[in-house]
Amino acid sequence: MIIAGNRQVFAIAAELTDTIGCWLLGRFQFVFHGRSCGNWNDHTDLRGCHGWLKEFAAKSRNRIEPGLLMLPAATVFDRLVTPVLAPRGEVAISEYYIDTFSRFHIAHVGMSSFDHIFMVLIEDQESQRCIWGEWGRAVLNDDFFPAQHMQEVAKEFSAALEVAASSRGMAL
């Protein structure tokens, strides 16, 4: 088991389950204040998670919009999720902000273990806020951290996954 961060604040957890050729498969999830996020029963491509997390930790994105950090979670959902991830058949809504998906959405870092998850990250110089949930459930999870906290845990996790992979004779 690989765990980076603190499960009572924010952590990333994984378990290597199999290697097939160049594939490194395993379980993957985020843990927000003790709450699991992601399908632990899915066997995802941990090499893909590693690549996305390394980029997430190293490449800064403009996730700052005045006032967005303090809006109610439902309003943030309406502004950041609904316009770009509306269910099929629903009328498209114009984006409230420019490049909404590439700037704020981060669920791709979990590869297939986050297939049923939406996750947005908002930041400023002092703090960050992650709002996430499972599609089809009415619950919005709303978590605040110090600036760059999630990226620092991602960096720590990436390094730990590299060590675990190398112990199986694989380089990431």
pLDDT digits over 2-38, tens only?
999 999 999 999 999 988 887 889 999 999 999 999 9
Q: How confident is the model at residue 171 (pLDDT cuts 50, 70, 90)?
A: confident
Averaged confidence pLDDT in the chain: 92
User: What pLDDT shows up at residue 14?
Assistant: 97
User: What pLDDT shows up at residue 83?
Assistant: 85
pLDDT digits over 120-169, tens only?
999 999 999 999 999 878 789 999 999 999 999 999 999 999 999 888 77
User: What pLDDT shows up at residue 89?
Assistant: 59
Which pairs count as long-range contacts for 10-17, CB under 8 Å and 24+ apart, including other chains?
Answer: 10/143, 10/145, 10/149, 10/150, 10/153, 11/153, 12/53, 12/153, 12/154, 12/157, 14/46, 14/49, 14/157, 14/161, 16/46, 16/164, 16/165, 16/168, 17/43
> What Cα–Cα distance (Å) separates residue 141 from each residue in 26, 37, 69, 130, 132?
25, 10, 14, 8, 5
Over residues 46-68, the mean pLDDT reads 94
**Residue in 138, 108, 139 with CA at minimum distance from that of residue 121:** 108
Residue 151's SS3 state is helix
pLDDT digits over 64-103, tens only?
999 999 999 999 999 999 888 766 656 567 889 999 999 9
User: What pLDDT shows up at residue 90?
Assistant: 61
Structural domain spans, the chain: 2-166
